[in-house]
Chain A
Amino acid sequence: MASKWKFTIKDLAEKPEIFMSGHRACAGCGPAIAYRQILKATRGPIIATNATGCMEVVSTIYPYTAWSIPFIHTAFENVAANAAGIETALKALKKKGQLKYDNVDVIAFAGDGGTYDIGIQALSGAAERGHNFLYVLYDNEAYMNTGIQRSGGTPHGAWTTTSPAGRVIPGKVRYKKPIAYIMVAHDIPYVATASIAYWIDLVRKTRRGLEAEGPAFLHALAPCPRGWRYDTSKTVEIARSAVETCVFPLWEAVDGEYALSAPSKVIALKPERKKPVKDYLKVQGRFRHLFTPKFEYVIDEIQQIIDRRWKRLLKKCGMT
């Protein structure tokens, strides 16, 4: 399914903005950057739907909107069903000869809460039924819209308001749910991970997801300065660090066949380039408590989890 689409930075710069300025995201908001980049990859008529969460809230405050394409939000847990409804209606219109276009792309956006947790049922159902749409998970690793509560996507050891760094329990106890693997296991044509720090990779993967015939899933790590507790200027740096430390490796699975993407492949080929997870953790306030003698052991645990997962991924990608 190699996309023939080639683009230069100039092409992207000249493309009209779909996610427009004037939205009310915080300064340095990773998801807002992700949206802007992702929507640069569109190929024609497109309809977007969004689960409840930060990005919907900041972009559609009535009577304003940051969307220059048709957009609908309905609820928190059902965006995959919403996308399925749009896709099915388009099919019906096409059958009746009432659709002006050969193809209309459908794209669904949701945060980690709307995906790992409350939305996974609708997502799994839509994937199983084979609806043709791209699902974008913008992962800021907590429920930000309701004030930084833990989700199934919150990593091990992270502070959130419902997994606080207490005297006894240091942050989130359990690990991050491997959502993208779960989506690959649905046997859908396209699954990929991406990071806003590697925008060429992100844009290209979005396009591949849109071009896939059937459900496509794009997991984009999108740091949130509010929830992760870092300076707003550091968003892209942190997104890059997640890849360099293998906390968030970049790969894609086309028809279930895994392959590492360039930024992670480099590390696979030159393991000495793999940075310690400590580098990633120490710049974020949400992990600050781990740098006290009492909880240092958690950093080791995290490193072990990351290493184990990295090894497993290399195997999947045939790199061992």
Chain B
Amino acid sequence: MAITKQNLLALNGDEAVAYAVKQSDVDVVSAYPITPQTIIVERFSEYVHNGEVDTEFVCVESEHSALSMCLTASATGVRVFTASGSAGLALMHEILYVTSGARAPVVMAIVNRALSGPINIHCDHSDSMVERDAGWIQIYVENSQEAYDSIVQAFRIAEHNDLLLPTMVMLDAFFLSHTLESVNVLPDETVRKFVGTRKIPLVRGHKGKLVPFKLDPENPITMGPLDLYDYYFEHKRQQEEAMQRAPRIIKEVHDEYARISGRKYGNGLIEPYRLEDAEIATVCLGSTAGTTKTVVDQLRTKGIKAGLLRLRTYRPYPVQDIINALENVKAIAVMDRSHSFGAHGGPIFHEIRHTLYEASIHPQIVDYIYGLGGRDMPQTLIHEIYKDLQKILETKRVEKPIQFIGVRE
């Protein structure tokens, strides 16, 4: 398949998301505004009010209702989308679990924003990190182009009949949501064809007959039942099995999309950057990866063997890909844009260190908590991290495994 000719638009991250949703033949959008996600809802409102899209769009009275509506609309068999972040995502918390438990393939954009208190509208990952166990696929994007591409992919992933897992796509507040970038967009028909129509799988219904897995008066089924200790565990296990199938499907969708768009993000799960021969490397996700790539390039010109691993999907967590990518790196710095209070480092640090326990070589590994509440992460600070890594490489010693960087002491 040839790469499709595309249009170059000047869009910020939120607009890129709204544009992708407009093109994806979404039946129901229900949302509630929260800065910095607001622009998604506003742009989408304009599309609706100008007749550019025929989605049923409902501005509800809270995020809780937004997701509740999406959940049952999805259970009725249609394609749905919502967006949120921060306090809004926290208000959805309970329904996130219900949505994944109901196997409703809802797609949601999250503009990552700090959680109160104190109240703060800027970027960090504390909102979506705490939802990593909610049974949703989580994709963190680096720039607005990827936000656009990932939303289109997300519908295919979530609705895949081997998965039926709700999917969230994360973009960094303001750094992406409000910053204008050049974004290549595919033609409407190309996206429509790529996302296709939602296919509903068959399940065993009340009378043992195979019936569509949706609320259908012709073939009634009971959804969201009381599930006691005799079945609940099995249903949770099924969710995990779907998660185990997700890496393959995410990669397939990502590759198929790459063939029409010409854009690839690593293998769809992780994006290694100059890691082949790297001795020192950082691990991060989101927009910081972009800045870090520049720093890596600078270090490389000086002959320093630096690299970067960007996690694109954090759920499912691609264990083997991470081991393969990092196994030969000698010193690793994990960058956590959220903190787990009272714990031994941030959430990504926990998982990366734990993962490398299974690797044949055990590198030195440190954690940097950075950028909480939108605190800038300039190149100079990233240089400092690599400098620390060089020191660890020389001394083979980690003096302080967990550090806050860019904070006034």
Q: Do A and B bind each other?
A: yes
In the complex, which residue of chain B has the Cβ closest to the Cβ of A65? B222
Q: Assess whether B56 is in contact with A88, with CB atoms less than 8 Å apart.
A: yes
A208 to B71, CA, bound (A): 28
Partner of A72 from B66, B224, B231 at Cβ < 8 Å: B224
Chain B, 56-96, contact with A by CB distance < 8 Å: what is the 0/1 string? Answer: 10111110111011111111111010000000000000110
Q: Assess whether A69 is in contact with B76, with CB atoms less than 8 Å apart.
A: no
**Is A49 part of the contact surface with B, judged by Cβ < 8 Å?**
yes
For A57, A74, A90, A122, which residue has the most chain B Cβ atoms within 10 angstroms? A74
**Is A318 part of the contact surface with B, judged by Cβ < 8 Å?**
no
Q: Assess whether A70 is in contact with B58, with CB atoms less than 8 Å apart.
A: no
Partner of B65 from A56, A100, A122 at Cβ < 8 Å: A122
**Is A117 part of the contact surface with B, judged by Cβ < 8 Å?**
no
Chain A min CB distance to B370 (Å)? 36
Instruction: Name the segment of A77-85, A175-183, A271-279, A289-297 touching the other chain.
Output: A77-85
Given A69-B217, A74-B102, are A86 and B224 also a contact pair (CB < 8 Å)? no
- Which A residues touch B56, using CB under 8 A? 88-89, 91-92, 95
Instruction: Name the segment of A124-132, A157-165, A191-199, A298-306 touching the other chain.
Output: A124-132
- Which A residues touch B72, using CB under 8 A? 49, 72, 74, 81-86, 89
- Which B residues touch A72, using CB under 8 A? 72, 75, 102, 215, 222-224
Partner of A60 from B71, B102, B222 at Cβ < 8 Å: B222
- Which A residues touch B28, using CB under 8 A? 85, 88-89, 92
- Which A residues touch B231, using CB under 8 A? 62-63
A74 to B70, CA, bound (A): 11
- Which A residues touch B30, using CB under 8 A? 85, 88
In the complex, which residue of chain A has the Cβ closest to the Cβ of B26? A92
A49 to B72, CA, bound (A): 9
Given A89-B78, A92-B27, are A70 and B216 also a contact pair (CB < 8 Å)? yes
**Is A200 part of the contact surface with B, judged by Cβ < 8 Å?**
no
- Which B residues touch A147, using CB under 8 A? none
Given A75-B95, A90-B76, are A129 and B222 also a contact pair (CB < 8 Å)? no
Q: Assess whether A122 is in contact with B27, with CB atoms less than 8 Å apart.
A: no
A63 to B226, CA, bound (A): 9
- Which A residues touch B98, using CB under 8 A? 74-75
In the complex, which residue of chain B has the Cβ closest to the Cβ of A66? B222
A62 to B221, CA, bound (A): 12
For A71, A77, A82, which residue has the most chain B Cβ atoms within 10 angstroms? A82
In the complex, which residue of chain B has the Cβ closest to the Cβ of A125? B61
Q: Report the interface size for chain B: residues with CB under 8 A from the other chain.
A: 46
In the complex, which residue of chain A has the Cβ closest to the Cβ of B206? A65
| Contacting residues of chain B (192-226) with chain A, CB-CB under 8 angstroms | 206, 215-226
- Which B residues touch A45, using CB under 8 A? 217-218
Chain A, 34-77, contact with B by CB distance < 8 Å: what is the 0/1 string? Answer: 00000000000111010000001100111101011111111101
- Which B residues touch A75, using CB under 8 A? 68, 94-95, 98
- Which B residues touch A78, using CB under 8 A? 64-65, 68, 95
Given A62-B226, A75-B98, A89-B28, are A129 and B60 also a contact pair (CB < 8 Å)? yes
- Which B residues touch A101, using CB under 8 A? 217
Given A60-B225, A89-B27, are A82 and B54 also a contact pair (CB < 8 Å)? no
Q: Assess whether B220 is in contact with A125, with CB atoms less than 8 Å apart.
A: no
Chain B min CB distance to A66 (Å)? 9
Chain A min CB distance to B21 (Å)? 14
Q: Assess whether A81 is in contact with B64, with CB atoms less than 8 Å apart.
A: yes
Partner of A57 from B62, B64, B226 at Cβ < 8 Å: B226
Partner of B58 from A49, A57, A83, A88 at Cβ < 8 Å: A88
**Is B394 part of the contact surface with A, judged by Cβ < 8 Å?**
no
Q: Assess whether B224 is in contact with A73, with CB atoms less than 8 Å apart.
A: yes
**Is B409 part of the contact surface with A, judged by Cβ < 8 Å?**
no
| Contacting residues of chain B (205-252) with chain A, CB-CB under 8 angstroms | 206, 215-228, 231
- Which B residues touch A60, using CB under 8 A? 222, 224-226
Given A85-B68, A89-B27, are A46 and B217 also a contact pair (CB < 8 Å)? yes
In the complex, which residue of chain A has the Cβ closest to the Cβ of B55? A92
A125 to B32, CA, bound (A): 12
A95 to B48, CA, bound (A): 15
- Nearest 7 CB-CB pairs, A to B? A125-B61, A85-B72, A45-B217, A89-B76, A85-B69, A81-B68, A81-B65
User: Can you name 29 A-B residue pairings with CB atoms under 8 Å?
Assistant: A45-B217, A61-B228, A62-B225, A65-B222, A67-B220, A67-B222, A73-B226, A74-B68, A74-B71, A74-B72, A77-B64, A81-B60, A84-B60, A85-B30, A85-B69, A85-B74, A86-B215, A88-B69, A89-B76, A89-B77, A90-B76, A92-B78, A93-B77, A104-B217, A121-B62, A121-B65, A122-B65, A129-B59, A129-B60
Known contacts A71-B222, A80-B65, A89-B72; 9 further A-B pairs (Cβ under 8 A): A45-B217, A45-B218, A71-B221, A72-B223, A74-B102, A84-B60, A85-B75, A89-B27, A128-B61
